[in-house]
Structure 1
């Protein structure tokens, strides 16, 4: 029995932390081999130090990161605690010292062990604190009772704090829900108003076109009748008929070509700005007709680029590519075009087209928004697409939104927060790259730069350039 107690005491010394002098809790072992409780070692670190020393042997360590928990030592500590607990329950272990065969009457506060009088006088316990076993038990019971009272008091405080926290949470939840509901109602009313406006403008336009068609048909009937009039009457009316026919032909384009309408969407650009990306031009993709600035954000049409605007479906060429490519996620960027009289913006992507026979054809596809001038009238066109609208006022900045998962590409008037056009992309097989074209330039003009806006730039009404 004495030998067993001696082994247990040796085990207890091996699983004791030299800092807190109790059994290890989540032990960690340093490179020097000494082990400590993780919390004890963490407290011994000096704030801001680039190294720390072992609290036992004072060897330096070049790292301030705590070692991982020593799992084997932690398991050994748990086993040792159980053995110590069982030994303490044994009457023999408490009544007799295994070394001197005397009654154990003292309790060592540092080693948490029972000692006889002779053991307490050894060098090993020279600096330790002792007390009679009954007195030690009484003291520890009082301390544990005090801890229990403190914890009970703390639990009541936490419970009170928890009850106090519930009310602000409920109030905040109701207020936030109410604000979002109010915003939803506001947007719903605004959407209804916008759709009503769109419907009314569509009705007015249809009515105007119908009246124009009716006027043309009536004039055509009048011309048909005039053709069969006698020579004298025909020659007498022909000058007036010719003037009126020319007037109607000159009005044809204005009556048929629709004008781009502005339908602002509250908060849209603010939401899109959450997905802003920093776009720069790939200088390797520039052509002799496009000049790229050193910071890769601005593009100019070179003097050698000549050509009239093309109003057909074929898009303008001389594109410059962005450095970035996208194949997933949501991305939004803006381009300042206020100083560019004609331009094209969009994306380039490899596409896969399927034939009726089931075969696949890979080709390069572009989806662009174009701004061109034809006979003193500016137009916004898409390729491919159906947009072919007159534009009354220039658009200072274009916002481009790309959502890869749904295959959505949308163009916005960033100043007015209005949608210009939205593509539904199909057959996109690989990475998408933004493209830019600051031309073709108008004859007799010196266009300024097309500028790729930085992530932090914001455009406000009445301010066409915020870079």
Structure 2
């Protein structure tokens, strides 16, 4: 009777040291705001999770870090010891609470101990049963195996921890060194290029100085010839006139500025990190433009009269992109291989006060334009002062837009070179890429302007066109 009473008292204690969620003895017990306790692992880990207590259903906010209830953890430990002592005092002969018979069997399906009559009951009759001793022996083998595995992993983790403190390869230093090396190479490249530009300036200055001296001598010769007698003048004038014409011709050529090509290593690779897949918006296209069905190409139609003047740059036949940008960095490329004339840039809007109380929205464009003239192709910008001759055609143009800083730049993709960067722009409205494939040259068939796919590369035709 004393043993039965002790077992009953233990069962009452057991209910106090058992987690209501997992049904096992507490493991790292914590107590929440309503006063009920649970295993820490059984509670949600997110600090933003509203938790409904299984005991009282009260909603409480579970903090990310809950302190272990030391008293309850100690009580759980004592409960486990008491259970072991009770089992030993009764010879391990615990009895079924329903049938009062000895618990001799273990149900492998339900993971619970049973008496003989429980094993014969309908709810357990089809399950796998084995003697308690055999089940306990198998369980101990599993525990011992897990102990060996954990011990092995523990040793390996300790070794890794030691290696982590003294790594064989210092990846951070190696990667940092690579970046420093790249910076050093770029600095060297910049230094050599600036040095070359400085030398070019000196050479140009010397050439202009010599040319100035030559022109001065030529003017003196002309002045002297002008004062000579007629016969003497006519005898020497042919050579003098030829020298003068030659000097004027060379001077005219020297006055034409050219677009400078400055290849910068890794430029396009860096810009490609910001590539966006641009598609055209047919609804925005001028009537004289034809947009392809795939929205990736546009060409001039018959309605574009080459000689017809336009009011201003906002009247330029163009088509806009579907995308409108209000932040971030974007980069896109356009194939202009077949176009002798083209315009690329961006389109935005601004508000203009027309009269007191009347505000209208106006279009504004910023662009780079290629114009064909008798002596070659010229690049012009708006706004800006670019009006320079091209040394060779450019098959593909890269356009870089940084909304926050108002940075708009154009690149020669093949040469990995900056063509021109417009003065910083202050954007106040969405920005859309703008495209204009013309005007077409008189007597020529209009060619397409193609938007390059994000993963596209320069084709052989781009190289052969140079």
Q: TM-score, normalised to structure 2's length?
A: 0.70
Residue pair 1:341, 1:447 contacting (<8 A) in 2 also: no
Map residues 425-444 of structure 1 onto 2, 5 A cutoff.
Answer: 425-444=424-443
State the Cα RMSD in Å.
4.8
What are the Cα deviations for residues 389-430 of structure 1, in whole angstroms up to 9, with x where unaligned?
111210010011111222211111000101111123232111
Q: Which runs of 5+ in 2 are unaligned?
A: 29-38, 43-48, 58-68, 106-112, 120-128, 354-358
Tell me the residue number matched to 2:24: 22
8 Å contact from structure 1 (residues 291, 299) kept in 2: yes
2:289 matched to which residue of 1? 290
1:120 alignment partner in structure 2: 102
1:319 aligns with 2:308: no
The aligned residue for residue 185 of structure 1 is 184
Distance 1:243 1:353 in 2: 58
Aligned positions, number:
404
| More displaced stretch, 330-339 vs 284-293 | 284-293
Shift of 1:344: 0.8
User: How many angstroms apart in 1 are the aligned matches of 2:200 and 2:239?
Assistant: 34
* Deviation string, structure 1 residues 287-313 (Cα, Å, up to 9, x no partner): 122211111111112233233599xx9
* Alignment CA distance shift 1:362-1:300 (3 Å): closer
Structure 1 stretch 360-369 or stretch 371-380: which is displaced more? 360-369
Structure 1 gaps of 5+ residues are 27-36, 41-67, 98-102, 355-359
Match of 1:349 in 2: 348
CA pair 188-433 structure 1, distance change in 2 beyond 3 A: same
Task: Please show how residues 87-102 of structure 1 align to structure 2 within 5 Å.
Answer: 87=79
Tell me the secondary structure at the aligned position of residue 300 of structure 1: strand
CA distance in 1, matches of 2:464, 2:242: 47
Distance 1:220 1:75 in 2: 109
State the Cα deviation string for residues 321-373 of structure 1 (Å, max 9, x = none).
1111111111111000010000111112235799xxxxx99753322111112
Q: Give the corresponding residue for 1:73.
A: 54
> Post-superposition shift, 1:450?
0.8
Query: What does the per-residue CA deviation read over 1:10-57, in whole Å, with 9 as the maximum and x for residues that have no partner?
Result: 67788375xxx735889xxxxxxxxxx9999xxxxxxxxxxxxxxxxx
> Structure 2 CA distance, aligned partners of 1:315 and 1:254?
33
Structure 2 CA distance for partners of 1:346 and 1:455, relative to 1, 3 Å: same
Partner of 1:64: none
TM-score, normalised with respect to structure 1: 0.70
Q: Aligned partners of 1:297, 1:425: CA distance in 2, in Å?
A: 29
| More deviation, 296-305/339-348 | 296-305
Summarize the Cα distance change of 1:347–1:217 in structure 2 as closer, same or farther, 3 Å threshold: farther
Residue 23 of structure 1 contacts residue 81 of structure 1 at CA under 8 Å; is this kept in 2? Answer: no
Separation in structure 2 between the aligned mates of residue 176 and residue 88 of structure 1, nearest angstrom:
54
Encode CA deviations 1:105-140: one digit per residue, 9 max, x unaligned: 4276xxxx999x956359983269667xxxx9x999
Matches within 5 A, 1:240-319: 245-307=244-306, 317-319=316-318
Q: How does 1:136-215 map to 2 (within 5 A)?
A: 151-165=150-164, 170-215=169-214
Question: Which residue of structure 2 aligns with residue 62 of structure 1?
Answer: none
Task: Confirm whether residue 416 of structure 1 aligns to residue 415 of structure 2.
Answer: yes
The aligned residue for residue 401 of structure 2 is: 402
C-alpha contact (below 8 Å) 1:441/1:447 kept by paired residues: yes
Corresponding residue of 1:106:
92
